[in-house]
Amino acid sequence: MTSIARSILIGAALALAGCNAATDDRNDSASPADRKGGERMVAPVLLTEDAKDIHSYAQPAAARVTHVALDLAANFRDKRMEGSATLDLQTAPDAKEIVLDSKGLEIGGITDGQGRALKYAVGPADPNLGAPLTIQLGGAKQIKINYRSAPEAGALQWLTPEQTAGKKHPFLFSQGQSILNRTWIPTQDSPGIRQTWEARIVVPEGLRAVMSAEDLTPKGEKAEGGRAYRFRMDKPVAPYLIALAVGDIGFKSLGPRTGVYSEPSMLDAAASELADTEKMIDAAEKLYGPYRWDRYDMIVLPPSFPFGGMENPRLTFLTPTMIAGDRSLVSLIAHELAHSWSGNLVTNATWSDFWLNEGFTSYFENRIMEALYGRERAVMEQALAWEDLQKEIAETEGGMSSPATKLHIDLKGKDPDEGLTGIPYDKGAAFLRMIEQTVGRERFDAYLRSYFDRHAFQPMTTKLFLEDLRKNLVKGDAELEKKLMIDQWVYQPGIPANAIVPQAPEFQRVDQAAKQFAAGALPVQNLGFGQWGTAERVRFLNGLPRQLPAERLAALDRAYQLSNIRNNEVLFAWLRLAIANRYDPAVPAVERFLTSMGRRKFVAPLFEDLVKQGEWGRPIAKRIYAKARATYHPVTTGTVDKTMKGGGAS
Ligand code: BES
Ligand code: ZN
How far, in Å, CA of 607 to CA of 626, rounded? 12
Q: What is the mean pLDDT of residues 562-579?
A: 98
Q: How far is the CA of 358 from the centre of ligand 2 (A)?
A: 5
Question: What is the percent of the chain with per-residue pLDDT over 70, rounded to a whole number?
Answer: 94
Nearest residue to 439 (alpha-carbon basis) of 494, 500, 490, 493: 500
How far, in Å, CA of 268 to CA of 262, rounded? 9
How far, in Å, CA of 460 to CA of 344, rounded? 11
pLDDT exceeds 90 at position 19:
no
pLDDT exceeds 80 at position 602:
yes
Nearest residue to 503 (alpha-carbon basis) of 382, 372, 360: 382
pLDDT exceeds 90 at position 418:
no
Q: What is the mean pLDDT of residues 254-262?
A: 98
Q: Quick one: which H or E segment has residue 375?
A: helix 375-395
Q: Which atom of ligand 1 is nearest to the CA of 332?
A: 18
Ligand 2 ion: residues within 5 Å (CB): 358, 361
Q: Are 584 and 590 in contact (CB under 8 A)?
A: no
How far, in Å, CA of 198 to CA of 584, rounded? 53
Q: Are 465 and 490 in contact (CB under 8 A)?
A: no
Q: Which pLDDT value is given to residue 37?
A: 54
How far, in Å, CA of 272 to CA of 28, rounded? 41
Q: What is the mean pLDDT of residues 114-134?
A: 98
Q: Are 182 and 145 in contact (CB under 8 A)?
A: no
- The lowest-confidence range among 3-12, 34-43, 598-607 is 3-12
Catalytic residue list: 336, 425
Nearest residue to 325 (alpha-carbon basis) of 608, 59, 568, 51: 568
Ligand 1 atom 15 nearest Cα: 308
How far, in Å, CA of 599 to CA of 330, rounded? 16
pLDDT exceeds 80 at position 487:
yes
Cβ of 310 closer than 6 Å to ligand 1, yes or no, is yes
Q: How far is the CA of 562 from the centre of ligand 1 (A)?
A: 26
Ligand nearest to the CA of residue 321, numbered in listed order? 1
Q: How far is the CA of 547 from the centre of ligand 1 (A)?
A: 32
How far, in Å, CA of 272 to CA of 345, rounded? 28
Cβ of 177 closer than 6 Å to ligand 1, yes or no, is yes
Ligand nearest to the CA of residue 360, numbered in listed order? 2
Those residues whose C-beta lies under 8 Å from the C-beta of residue 310, and which sit 6 or more positions away, are 175, 177, 243, 316, 317, 336
pLDDT tens readout for residues 300-343? 999 999 999 999 999 999 999 999 999 999 999 999 999 999 99
How far, in Å, CA of 94 to CA of 318, rounded? 45
Ligand nearest to the CA of residue 317, numbered in listed order? 1
Position 235 confidence tier, pLDDT thresholds 50, 70, 90: very high
How far, in Å, CA of 119 to CA of 127, rounded? 25
In the DSSP assignment, the letter for residue 160 is -
Q: How many CA atoms lie within 13 A of 310 on its CB side?
A: 25
Those residues whose C-beta lies under 8 Å from the C-beta of residue 237, and which sit 6 or more positions away, are 194, 195, 196, 197, 313, 344
Ligand 1 atom 18 nearest Cα: 332
Q: Are 287 and 337 in contact (CB under 8 A)?
A: no
Rounded to 5 degrees, φ, ψ at 276 are: -85, 5
pLDDT exceeds 80 at position 15:
no
pTM for this model (two decimals): 0.95
Q: How far is the CA of 310 from the centre of ligand 2 (A)?
A: 7
Q: Which pLDDT value is given to residue 34?
A: 44
Of 378 and 9, which is predicted with more confidence? 378
Q: Are 188 and 58 in contact (CB under 8 A)?
A: yes
The residue to mutate among 179, 307, 382, having the most atoms of ligand 1 within 8 angstroms of its beta carbon, is 307
Rounded to 5 degrees, φ, ψ at 222 are: -60, 135
CA 347 to chain centre: 12
Task: Write out the E strands in 117-257.
Answer: 120-122, 131-136, 142-148, 156-159, 171-174, 195-203, 208-211, 214-215, 221-223, 226-237, 244-247, 250-255
Identify whether 178 is preceded by a cis peptide bond (ω within 30 of 0). yes
pLDDT exceeds 50 at position 8:
no
Q: Which pLDDT value is given to residue 419?
A: 73
Rounded to 5 degrees, φ, ψ at 449 are: -60, -45
pLDDT exceeds 90 at position 238:
yes
Nearest residue to 31 (alpha-carbon basis) of 632, 338, 456: 456
Q: What is the mean pLDDT of residues 382-389?
A: 98
Q: Are 435 and 499 in contact (CB under 8 A)?
A: no
Cβ of 338 closer than 6 Å to ligand 1, yes or no, is no
pLDDT tens readout for residues 186-233? 999 999 999 999 999 999 999 999 999 999 999 999 999 999 999 999
Position 179 confidence tier, pLDDT thresholds 50, 70, 90: very high
Q: How far is the CA of 419 from the centre of ligand 2 (A)?
A: 15
Exposed/middle/buried for 549, CB within 10 Å: 0-12, 13-18, 19+? exposed
pLDDT exceeds 90 at position 137:
yes
How far, in Å, CA of 156 to CA of 103, rounded? 12
Task: Look at residue 99 and give its three-state secondary structure.
Answer: strand
Q: Are 646 and 170 in contact (CB under 8 A)?
A: no
pLDDT exceeds 80 at position 3:
no
Around Cβ 360, how many Cβ atoms within 10 Å?
29
Q: What is the mean pLDDT of residues 147-169?
A: 97
Q: Which pLDDT value is given to residue 9?
A: 37
In the DSSP assignment, the letter for residue 349 is S
Residue 449: left if φ>0, alpha if ψ -120 to 50, beta else—which one?
alpha
What residues does 314 pair with on adjacent strands?
none
Cβ of 484 closer than 6 Å to ligand 1, yes or no, is no
How far, in Å, CA of 483 to CA of 284, rounded? 29
> Got the DSSP string for 164-190?
SSSSSS-EEEE--TTTTGGGT--B---
Q: What is the mean pLDDT of residues 368-384?
A: 98
Q: Which atom of ligand 1 is nearest to the CA of 417?
A: 9
Average per-residue pLDDT for the chain: 94
How far, in Å, CA of 489 to CA of 498, rounded? 10
Q: Quick one: which H or E segment has residue 70?
A: strand 63-75
> Got the DSSP string for 554-593?
HHHHHHHTGGG-S-HHHHHHHHHHHHHTT-GGGHHHHHHH
pLDDT exceeds 50 at position 593:
yes
Position 646 confidence tier, pLDDT thresholds 50, 70, 90: confident
Exposed/middle/buried for 564, CB within 10 Å: 0-12, 13-18, 19+? exposed
pLDDT exceeds 60 at position 23:
no
Q: Which pLDDT value is given to residue 22?
A: 35
Ligand nearest to the CA of residue 330, numbered in listed order? 1
Those residues whose C-beta lies under 8 Å from the C-beta of residue 161, and which sit 6 or more positions away, are 167, 168, 169, 170
pLDDT exceeds 80 at position 148:
yes
Q: How far is the CA of 340 from the centre of ligand 2 (A)?
A: 10
